Amino acid sequence: MAMKKLTPVLLVEAIEPCLAFWTERLGFEVTGSVPEGEALGFAMLRRDAVEIMYQTRASMAGDVPALADRPAGGAFLFVEVDDIDAVEAALEGVETVVPRRTTFYGATEVSVLEPGGNVVTFAEFGREG
């Protein structure tokens, strides 16, 4: 049995505020979306080997009602990057939940809160401080 790919699907109240975080700040592309009334109910984003999906609670209620009552936000994402300085510059003004630090496993990291209420940690390996 092979595991081919893991893509998080984040449950949020509204997708639109989350899109700019990924597209405008970090260069992701929206690769698919599904409307839900006047707003988006689902969106898929990708950059390089990183993919993320968002689904609204309203869309989930229509798709898989048993999952719609789960709390929105609260996920933790870990993204390995090659330039933590560039990431920090792109995220200027975004709420930082863990300031830049060097970890015991050798990563230089910074963790922020994206608009959907999820923590995203960006980590560069092989760098001091």
Percent of the chain exceeding pLDDT 70 equals 98
Residue 2 lies inside a defined structural domain of this protein? no
64 located within any domain: yes
Host domain of residue 85: 9-125
Question: Which residue has better confidence, 70 or 15?
Answer: 15
Contacts of 12 (CB under 8 A, 6+ apart): 18, 54, 55, 56, 57, 72, 73, 116, 117
CA 47 to chain centre: 11
4 in a structural domain: no
pLDDT tens column, 78-124:
999 999 999 999 999 999 999 999 999 999 999 999 999 999 999 99
CATH of the domain at 36: 3.10.180.10
14 exposure class (CB count in 10 Å sphere: 0-12, 13-18, 19+) = middle
Rounded to 5 degrees, φ, ψ at 108 are -100, 120
Report how many domains make up the chain. 1
